Structure 1
Amino acid sequence: MQPLVVLAEEPQEADHEAILAALLAYNDAAGGPSGYQEVAVLVRHPETGATIGGLWGRIIYDWLFVELLVVPAEFRGAGLGTQLMQTAEAKARASGCVGVWLDTFAFQAPDFYRRLGYQQFGVLPDHPKGRSRFFFMKRLGGAA
């Protein structure tokens, strides 16, 4: 009997969790314990406490991958993005990570990451068409 391959029109969080669990089980069996953990550094509204921005990532195999980073427009230019990244880097160091890696579009923040000491290690041209997506990394001093 063959499994079904289905393109989900409205993927559910449970689908994501099932795929992630299977991948982590495989990785841990094949490559040793991955140390997978999610990392969230949140920006909360000063009056309501609602999450209005922040950083979301995951630690796996001694590196922190920053998946999402957003500073609300009204708070940009005041060092909040730097604070988010420094907090995530401190968490990565405390977790024994070797470094941090991430990607960003040309119209987002490549120069911001360069100023923070990140080095470009790749580029995906025409993503989106006519623009580029950049991949950055930073090795962390003091990591185990």
Structure 2
Amino acid sequence: MSDPAIVVAKTASDSDRKAIVDALMAFNEKAGGPAHFQPVAILVKDPASGTTLGGLWGRTIYDWLFVELLVVPEQLRGRGLGSRLLAQAETIARSRSCIGVWLDTYAFQAPDFYRKQGYTAFGTIEDHPRGHKRIFFQKRF
């Protein structure tokens, strides 16, 4: 087989991403065993219009829940919605036999919120973005 071409894509397609993910998952499943990937989506909806206003987006994989996104719109904060979203996600993770949850946030976002929910920091990236840091949290069950 000749050497493959390396191409910097100006616009990448969903099928390009899928090809990369599929190759990585195939390798991981050989090396690490079944991933048991399942998405998690818990949505905050406007009751009148049905429009999604915020929520939690993540996935369970390799015995952990990864929370990719969690947002409560500013006008709805202070009502316990964030705590309820996270608690529901943790319930889902436990029902899928996960051993914990991990996520990341920026120092200017919600690190204190996650600490109040029982999460502990396990790593940081300084100057991401410059002058700030990205913090990685976990919570084991």
TM-score bracket, normalised by the shorter chain, equals over 0.9
User: What CA deviation, in whole Å up to 9, does each residue of 1:16-48 have, x standing for no partner?
Assistant: 222212211111111111111111111112211
1:138 is matched with 139
Q: Alpha-carbon deviations, 1:34-70, whole Å to 9, x = none?
A: 1111111111122111222111111111001111111
- Rounded to whole Å, the distance in 2 between the matches of 1:60 and 1:21 is 14
**5+ unaligned residues in a row in structure 2: which ranges?**
none
1:103 aligns with 2:137: no
Aligned residue for 1:66, secondary structure, equals strand
Percent of counterpart pairs with the same letter? Answer: 57
Q: How many pairs align?
A: 140
Deviation at 1:13, TM superposition (A): 2.1
Q: Which runs of 4+ in 1 moved over 4 A?
A: none
The SS at the match of 1:39 is strand
Q: Distance in 2 between matches of 1:118 and 1:76?
A: 20
Q: Distance in 2 between matches of 1:113 and 1:85?
A: 9
**Is there any run of 5+ residues in structure 1 with no aligned partner, and where?**
none
Stretch of structure 1 that moved more, 110-119 or 52-61? 52-61
- CA 52–11 in structure 1, closer or farther in 2 if over 3 Å, else same: farther
TM-score by length of 1: 0.92
The CA RMSD measured in Å over matched residues stands at 1.0
Structure 2 residue identity aligned to 1:94? S
| Match runs of 1:59-98 below 5 Å | 59-98=60-99
Take 2:79 and 2:71, find their aligned partners in 1: how far apart are those partners?
A: 13
- Match of residue 52 from structure 2: 51
Alignment of 1:19-58 (within 5 A): 19-58=20-59
Looking at structure 2, the residues matched to 11 and 84 of structure 1 have their Cα atoms a distance apart, in angstroms, of 32
TM-score if structure 2 supplies the norm length? 0.94
